[in-house]
Structure 1
Amino acid sequence: MSEPIRVVVTGAAGQIAYSLLYIIAKGDVFGPNQPLILHLLDIPPMMGVLEGVVMELADCALPLLHGVVPTADPAEAFKDVSAAFLVGAMPRKQGMERKDLLSANVKIFKVQGEALDQHAKKDVKVLVVGNPANTNALVCAKYAPSIPKENFTAMTRLDQNRAQAQIAAKTGVPVANVSNVIIWGNHSSTQVPDASFAKVVKGGKTLSASEAVNNDAWLQNEFIETVQKRGAAVIAARKMSSAMSAAKAAGDHMRSWFLGTEPGKYVSMGVLSDGSYDTPKDVVFSFPVTIENGKWQIVKGLQIGDHYRQLLEATGKELVEERAEAFAIIEA
Structure 2
Amino acid sequence: MSEPIRVLVTGAAGQIAYSLLFSIAKGDVFGKDQPITLLLLDITPMLPVLEGVVMELQDCALPLLRDIVPTDKEEVAFKDLDAAILVGSMPRKEGMERKDLLKANVAIFKSQGTALEKYAKKTVKVLVVGNPANTNCLIAAKSAPSIPKENFSCLTRLDHNRARSQVAMRCGVPATHVKNVIIWGNHSSTQYPDVHHCMVNMSGSELACFDAVKDDAWLKGDFIATVQLRGAAVIKARKLSSAMSAAKAICDHMRDIWSGTSEGEFISMGVYSSGNSYGVPDDLIYSFPVQIKDKSWKIVDGLAINDFSRLKMDATAAELIEERDTAVSFLGV
Instruction: Give the TM-score band, short-chain normalised.
Output: over 0.9
- Partners of 1:98 and 1:132 within 8 A in 2: no
CA distance in 2, matches of 1:272, 1:329: 20
Q: What per-residue deviation string (whole Å, max 9, x for no partner) do you get for residues 125-183 of structure 1?
A: 00000000000000000110110011010100000000001001000000111110000
Name the amino acid aligned to 1:302. L
Corresponding position of 1:126: 126
Q: What per-residue deviation string (whole Å, max 9, x for no partner) do you get for residues 92-122 of structure 1?
A: 4578775552121111000000000011011
Corresponding position of 1:256: 256
Moved over 2 A (4+): 91-101
Corresponding position of 2:142: 142
Corresponding position of 1:330: 331
- Partners of 1:12 and 1:88 within 8 A in 2: yes
Unaligned runs of 5+ in 1: none
Q: In the alignment, is residue 303 of structure 1 matched against residue 295 of structure 2? A: no
Q: Are residues 202 and 96 of structure 1, via their aligned partners in 2, closer, same or farther at CA, if it must alter by over 3 Å? A: farther
Corresponding position of 2:234: 234
CA distance in 1, matches of 2:259, 2:221: 34
CA distance in 2, matches of 1:121, 1:140: 15
Corresponding position of 1:180: 180
CA distance in 2, matches of 1:66, 1:89: 27
> What is the total number of aligned residue pairs between the two structures?
332
CA distance in 2, matches of 1:44, 1:277: 44
Name the amino acid aligned to 1:230. R
Corresponding position of 1:155: 155
Name the amino acid aligned to 2:156. T
Q: In the alignment, is residue 27 of structure 1 matched against residue 27 of structure 2? A: yes
Map 1:192-207 → 2, pairs under 5 A: 192-207=192-207
CA distance in 2, matches of 1:19, 1:176: 22
CA distance in 1, matches of 2:20, 2:290: 23
Name the amino acid aligned to 1:309. R
Corresponding position of 1:277: 278
Q: Are residues 209 and 183 of structure 1, via their aligned partners in 2, closer, same or farther at CA, if it must alter by over 3 Å? A: same
- Partners of 1:234 and 1:240 within 8 A in 2: yes
CA distance in 2, matches of 1:145, 1:109: 14
Corresponding position of 1:290: 291
Name the amino acid aligned to 1:34. Q
Name the amino acid aligned to 2:206. T
Q: Which moved more, 1:110-119 or 1:203-212?
A: 203-212
Name the amino acid aligned to 2:224. I
Name the amino acid aligned to 1:153. S
Name the amino acid aligned to 2:309. Y
Q: Are residues 96 and 218 of structure 1, via their aligned partners in 2, closer, same or farther at CA, if it must alter by over 3 Å? A: farther
Q: Are residues 253 and 159 of structure 1, via their aligned partners in 2, closer, same or farther at CA, if it must alter by over 3 Å? A: same
- Partners of 1:43 and 1:72 within 8 A in 2: yes
CA distance in 2, matches of 1:210, 1:94: 40
CA distance in 2, matches of 1:93, 1:302: 39
What TM-score results when the alignment is normalised by the length of structure 2? 0.97
Report the 3-state secondary structure (helix = DSSP H, G, I; strand = E; otherwise coil) of the residue aligned with 2:278: helix
Q: What per-residue deviation string (whole Å, max 9, x for no partner) do you get for residues 255-286 of structure 1?
A: 00110000000000000012211111110000
Q: Are residues 244 and 96 of structure 1, via their aligned partners in 2, closer, same or farther at CA, if it must alter by over 3 Å? A: farther
Corresponding position of 1:4: 4
What TM-score results when the alignment is normalised by the length of structure 1? 0.98
Corresponding position of 1:49: 49
- Partners of 1:86 and 1:127 within 8 A in 2: yes
Name the amino acid aligned to 2:194. D
Name the amino acid aligned to 2:223. F
